[in-house]
Amino acid sequence: MDDVEEMYNEIIMEHSMNSYNKKKLDKADFEEMGHNPNCGDEISIEVKMNGDVIEDMAFSGHGCAISQASTSVMIDTLKGKTVEEAKDIIKTFIGMIKREIKDDKELEKLDEAIAFKNVSNMPARVKCALLAWHTMEDMIKKNNK
Ligand code: ZN
């Protein structure tokens, strides 16, 4: 394992063990549930908006380490972003996992979420890594007219 891979694994471990994003928001504007029957992952994501900006996010649920860490990292990455920025980041993350986007410059906007890059080599884990991001994508589609 090289240094970069090790760093990626540490980020994933860190987030799957420390659940500081796993809580309930006092006042959520939106909530969306996501379910991955292949693995049994279930999450619920809450979002609080301030105008066009994602002011706060949190999640609850259970599942494998990859699904839970991916949700937590996504929250760190999208918090403070506008909806338009969030859509772009979500698209980039999905593109990275599906190996459609490989350009490092383009992946920079993912911040820590780039740690999931190697999940694209683990077909059984792809749905786990994408669950939160697809759930967030659905929430934006439903509520963003
Ligand atoms: Zn899973």
pLDDT tens-place string over residues 20-40:
999 999 999 999 999 999 999
Neighbours of 123 (CB within 10 A): 8
Residues 129/119, Cβ–Cβ less than 8 Å: yes
Give all domains of the chain, ordered by start, each with its CATH number.
Answer: 3-142 (3.90.1010.10)
60 touches 44 (CB < 8 A) = yes
Expressed in angstroms and rounded, the spacing between residue 64 Cα and the centre of ligand 1 is 4
- Pair of tokens at residue 70: 């991916």
Average pLDDT value over all residues in the chain = 94
DSSP 137: H
**pLDDT by residue (tens digit) across 62-96?**
999 999 999 999 999 999 999 999 999 999 999 99
Cα(5) to centroid(ligand 1), Å: 20
pLDDT tens-digit map of 120-144: 999 999 999 999 999 999 999 998 7
Average pLDDT over residues 41-52: 97
Q: What's the CA-to-centroid distance between 51 and ligand 1, angstroms?
A: 33
- The answer for residues whose C-beta is within 8 angstroms of residue 131's C-beta and 6 or more apart is 34, 35, 36, 41, 43, 63, 67, 70, 71
CA of 50 to the centre of ligand 1 (A): 31
Q: How many angstroms is it from 101 CA to the middle of ligand 1?
A: 23
Query: What is this structure's pTM?
Result: 0.95
CA of 124 to the centre of ligand 1 (A): 8
pLDDT at 45 (0 to 100): 98
Element (H, E) at 103: none
User: Which of these, 58, 94, 57, lies nearest to 79 by C-alpha position?
Assistant: 57
**Rounded CA gap, 106 and 67, in Å?**
23
pLDDT band (50, 70, 90) for residue 1 = low
Is residue 42 within 8 A of residue 34, CB to CB? The reply is: yes
Looking at residue 74, its pLDDT comes to 98
